[in-house]
Amino acid sequence: MEFFKRRREADTQLSRYRDQKFQGSRAEQEDKLLKSSTVYVGNLSFYTSEEQIYELFGKCGDIKRVILGLDRITKTPCGFCFVEFYDREDARNAMRYVKGTRLDDRIVRVDWDTGFEEGRQYGRGKTGGQVRDE
Amino acid sequence: MKFGGEVVEKLTNNFKDYLKSCNWSKASSLIRFFGDLCNCHVISASSLLNLFETLVDVTMEDNIPQARSDFYVYSVLSALPFVGKELNDKNHENLEQLLNNIENYISKRSKTHHTALRVWYSDSPHPQEEYLDCLWAQISKLRSEKWVEKCLSRPYLSLDSVLCEALTHNLPQIQIPPHESSFIYPNPRVIFRLFDYTDCPEDNILPGAHNIERFLIEEHMRWIIDQNYFARKEWYKIDYLNYINKFLFSAIALLSFPGLLKQKIPLEYMVVEVILGELFTLPKSKYLEICYGSLLLELCKLQPSTLPQVLAQAVELLYDRLDSMNVDCIGRFASWFAYHLSNFQFSWDWDGWSTCLTADNLSPKQRFVRETLQRCMRLSYHQRIAEIVPETFQCLLPDLPAPNNKFAEDETGSLSGTPYAQKLLNVLKEKHTPEEALEVLKDIPNPLQESEEEPSYNPLKINVFLTCLLCYLSKSFTHLFAGFAKYQLCLKSLNTSEEAQICILKTMFEVWNSHQQLIILLTKKFLKAGIVQHSAVANWLFSKDMSAELTKSYVWELLHETILQQVKTVEKIEKELEEAKEPKPKSEDGKEAGADGDIPMEEMVEKLEEKLESAQSDQKNLFLIIFQRFIMLLSEHIQSCESQNKSFKNLWFRWMIGRLQQVFFEHQENVFKYVSTLESLLFTPEVDQHILLIFRQFCSLRA
């Protein structure tokens, strides 16, 4: 039984990635990640709309809001978003079932997020988009 | 010596606890485990039979739900493939007596629920059997074959020399906890059958429907899903689960079924059948649709050379059999299939389904294809879907979602709202405050003033404001929801009565009827912000304005969302109340620290209790409205058909009666709270038998 319990908790385990711009200590960050009901979604097409995100992630539970990542300069979508659920369990479903499947033919990345704060919707790359794209 | 006895004691104690706490699945697997322990000479055959007899004796109890006796009989029957041979060898007569008792019970069961739980109404090509009937047939066949089954792994056989000398223990006499009204037993089921041996490749023989192997393999697969659904991804990352993975998908799997080494089974077919069977389970599937959907994607990735073909074959069979498929299952099929296609670039041989083009507009085949395309569009975009389907299928494509602004199109100025709409649009464009927007609305005359003394709302005001707002913000969901938040105050001030709320919903529909997904999302926003009540949404959906929409599935998606929001509201208050009642740790000066410094605890609890009571009564009311509307709608249909000497059992009726059943099934737990009210107020003997039957079938799930 202990084995399965551990397995069940595996979804909650965090990936190695940590947001370097997080304001606060590493411990605070971990704590927030373990309680959050927000997920970061990456590797989206620039053309993926909010409608599509609502449709796919809505299959996991009730969505509070979607914040589309924007290019800092052009203010156009640049391939990522945050999906905020009402319940953590629903966010966990997104981690379990959406991670690694396709949206707009691209394999999407899903990761726990500490929760959206104003400003985080903008790309952090030199040219305004995501760092990864440079 | 002592250890074995302690294990048996511990297991019996666990078993008793599981029965007391209604943990049926665990109790059931323990019964099976006891059976196999008998094979290992840990438990004596006579004491095991004794236990089985005690369990089957539950069928003799008076005034218990059938679901209770079903559970005990099912548990015994499903343990027999493991231990039947041993019992037959050692206590043949007692086993026969037990089986006779079971047979007697099986023949007397009521099966009102059977029709309701079938995925297909038709018995061709495969009968959808009631689960106990099916298991009984399988066990009877096994009995006639001298209890020899060909697929269980029995590692203890190779240790026979050691085990036969071991001391066996007697299971203590177990008292079955008597039935209590709060006990909820597992729902009865119907066995999902999609394939038979002719569907599979020749060298892989699919065990027949009444072969015990079919039962055992399927049960094992379901167990694997149950244990692992929560961590689909990790299936092949952890060593133990590697075994399961192999069990399912490779030649090594067959090694875990030693008897099948010579007889290969079509594993992919069985996996697909089990997963689709779970997805289509009635009254409701155990897990989210996306759980099964992503599991199938994963399997396609792991077995790219075989699984996708088997799945495609399954989809073809499902499509062929749509005409007799349960209405709710058709919806689940479309939704899952669109999701699946979205992971495979939407490639599908649509031309193969061109029969749906000439079929009736309400035929399940055409409705299914329309619904699938609509779902595909929601996961993609209009043009993409237009490109993937052949020319001939364009007529089934959803509309291009676009807002409909009647005031902007009103060039002749024939609508009395147009001048206000223009003024309001400027206010919105110049980003004025909600108060300024309300200022513009103030002057709008009330068309109801002419006929009513004091109208409860101003329809024109609502119409102008909402049309302008929704059209102005139509650029994206973000714009829409941000604007919605900004002008929430205005919206709230427009909600002056239930008529006003329905008018708000009507206006929203008028503007966005081409965007089904948005209608659902906006309604949810309205509900959450308290701009409309749940009951208003139900009344609106059943109103004349929406009657043409009722055959489309988004209407029902919306209704179920609305019910779900209501249920969640109640649950939230219940939780708050529970938390408020919990004794708070006393602070240092000895006073109780309330959650909110100013409000004393008791007062807060009282307030929450009131709030809960009103939310609960809202919930009950919501269900009553929905069922009443259904009865009216269906009765009207039956009467009008009869007066025209037409059969009322047409396609429309089939869809609607299926939707009624879906409301019962989707919200089973909650609807059961109102069964007696429903019986005395709504589903009375005066109601047409065809409508009443749906209610009776529902009641039989726990009868």
Q: Which residue has the tokens 């997104």?
A: A94
Q: How far is B441 from chain A (nearest CA, A)?
A: 30
Backbone phi, psi, residue B89, to 5°: -65, -40
Q: How far apart are CA A126 and CA B110, in angstroms?
A: 72
| Cβ-Cβ contacts under 8 Å, B518 against chain A | 51
pLDDT of res. A3: 44
Cβ separation A97–B290 shorter than 8 A: yes
- Confidence at A132, pLDDT banded by 50, 70, 90: confident
Could you tell me if residue B568 is inside a domain? no
In a domain, B601, yes or no: no
Q: Do A101 and B294 touch (CB under 8 A)?
A: yes
The answer, yes or no, to whether residue B176 has pLDDT greater than 50, is: yes
Whether residue A61 contacts residue A85, with contact meaning beta carbons closer than 8 Å, is answered with yes
Residue B310 lies in a domain: yes
Number of domains in chain B: 2
Nearest 5°: CA angle at B476, between B472 and B390?
A: 115
Of the three residues B344, B361, B380, the one that is the final residue of a domain is B344
Distance CA B350, CA B376 (A): 13
Least confident of B20-29, B147-156, B210-219, B441-450: B441-450
Instruction: Label residue B597 by pLDDT band (50, 70, 90).
Output: low
State the DSSP code for B586.
B
Within a domain: B567? no
Q: Which residue has the higher pLDDT, B72 or B220?
A: B72
* pLDDT value at residue B242: 42
Three-state secondary-structure class, residue B62:
coil
Q: Would you say how long chain B is, in residues?
A: 703
Residue B237 pLDDT: 41
Of B233, B517, B568, the CB nearest to A99: B233
Return the closest-CA partner of residue B655 out of B675, B672, B630.
Answer: B630
Whether residue A125 lies inside any domain: the answer is no
Omega before residue B125 within 30° of 0, cis: yes
Residue B239, amino acid = D
Asked if residue B148 and residue B12 are part of one domain, the reply reads: yes
Same domain, B152 and B32: yes
Return the SS3 of B156: helix
Q: How far apart are CA B658 and CA B243, in angstroms?
A: 42
Residues on chain B touching A91 (C-beta within 8 angstroms): none
Q: Average pLDDT of B564-582? A: 92
Reported confidence tier of residue B445, pLDDT bands at 50, 70, 90 = confident
Q: Are strands A106-107 and A102-103 parallel, antiparallel or unpaired?
A: antiparallel
Amino acid identity for residue B399 in this structure = D
Asked if A113 contacts A40 with a C-beta cutoff of 8 angstroms, the reply is yes
Of B288, B517, B568, nearest to A93 by CB-CB distance is B288
Assess if residue A102 is contained within a domain: yes
Residue A15 lies in a domain: no
* β-bridge mates for residue A81, sequence order: A41, A68
Tokens of B347: 């490639």
User: pLDDT at position B587, please?
Assistant: 53
- Which is more confidently placed, A18 or B89? B89
pLDDT grade, residue B438 (50/70/90)? confident
User: For residue B312, what is the domain's CATH number?
Assistant: 1.25.40.180
Name the residue range of residue A95's domain: 37-112
Residue A60: CATH number of its domain: 3.30.70.330
Per-residue pLDDT, B591? 52
Chain A interface test: which of B26, B236, B279, B290 (most A C-beta within 10 Å):
B290
Residue A103 lies in a domain: yes
* DSSP conformation class of B168: P
**Predicted confidence (pLDDT) at residue B271 exceeds the cutoff of 90:** no
CB contact under 8 A, B477 and A8: no
In a domain? residue A105? yes
Question: Where is the domain boundary, B123, B142, B163?
Answer: B163
Mean pLDDT of B117-123: 94
Q: Do B17 and B153 belong together in one domain? A: yes
Evaluate if residue B159 carries a pLDDT over 80.
yes
Question: Would you say residue B99 lies in a domain?
Answer: yes
Q: Among B364, B369, B366, B362, which residue's Cα sits nearest to residue B388?
A: B369
**Measured between alpha carbons, how far is B213 from B194 in angstroms, rounded to an integer?**
16
The verdict on residue A18 lying in a domain is: no
Residues B137, B245, single domain; the answer is: no
Q: What mean pLDDT is predicted for residues B554-574?
A: 96
Sheet architecture: strand order including A38-42: A63-70, A77-85, A38-42, A109-113
User: Is B540 domain-assigned?
Assistant: no
- A87 — contact with chain B (CB < 8 Å)? no
- Mean pLDDT within B632-649: 95
The per-residue pLDDT for B586 is 55
Write the CB contacts of A89 (distance below 8 Å, at least 6 apart in sequence).
A61
Q: Could you tell me if A3 lies within 8 Å of chain B, comparing CB atoms?
A: yes
CA B247 to chain centre: 28
Residues B531/B495, Cβ–Cβ less than 8 Å? yes
Q: Do B339 and A59 touch (CB under 8 A)?
A: yes
Asked if the structure places residue A54 within a domain, the reply is yes
Instruction: Give dist(CA B250, CA B647) in Å, integer.
Output: 53
Tell me if B307 is assigned to some domain.
yes
Please give the full DSSP string across B260-327, using - where no structure is assigned: GSSS---HHHHHHHHHHHHHT-SS--SS-HHHHHHHHHHHHHHSTTTHHHHHHHHHHHHHHTGGGB-H
Q: What is the mean pLDDT of chain B?
A: 89
Count residue pairs from A and B with Cβ separation < 8 A: 77
- Residue A40 CA to residue A82 CA, distance in Å, equals 5
End position of a domain, from candidates B288, B317, B344: B344
Same domain flag for B226 and B314: yes
Regarding whether B244 and B119 lie in a shared domain, the answer is: no
Nearest to B568 by CA among B306, B493, B576: B576
* Whether B237 and B105 share a structural domain: no
B66-76 per-position pLDDT tens digit: 999 999 999 99
Do B56 and B132 belong together in one domain? yes
Domain extent for B338 = 214-344
Q: Is pLDDT of B248 > 70?
A: no
Q: Are residues B141 and B18 in the same domain?
A: yes
In a domain, A129, yes or no: no
> Mean pLDDT lowest for which of B398-412, B426-440, B543-557, B589-603?
B589-603
From chain A, pick out residues whose CB is under 8 angstroms from the CB of B288.
Answer: 59-60, 93, 97
- Per-residue exposure over B48-66, b if at least 16 CB sit within 10 Å of its own CB, e if not: bbbbbebbbebbeeeeebb
| Residue in chain A lying closest to B292 (CA) | A97
Q: Does any domain span residue B158?
A: yes
Please state the pTM of the whole predicted model. Answer: 0.91
Set of chain A residues whose Cβ sits within 8 Å of the Cβ of B481: 65
Residues of chain B whose beta carbon is less than 8 angstroms from a beta carbon of chain A are 227-228, 230-234, 238, 240, 288-291, 293-294, 297, 339, 342-343, 345, 378-381, 476-478, 481, 517-518, 521, 524, 568
More reliable by pLDDT, A123 or B262: A123
User: For chain A, what is the domain count?
Assistant: 1
- Residue B599 binned pLDDT confidence (cut-offs 50, 70, 90): low
pLDDT tens readout for residues A47-71: 999 999 999 999 999 999 999 999 8
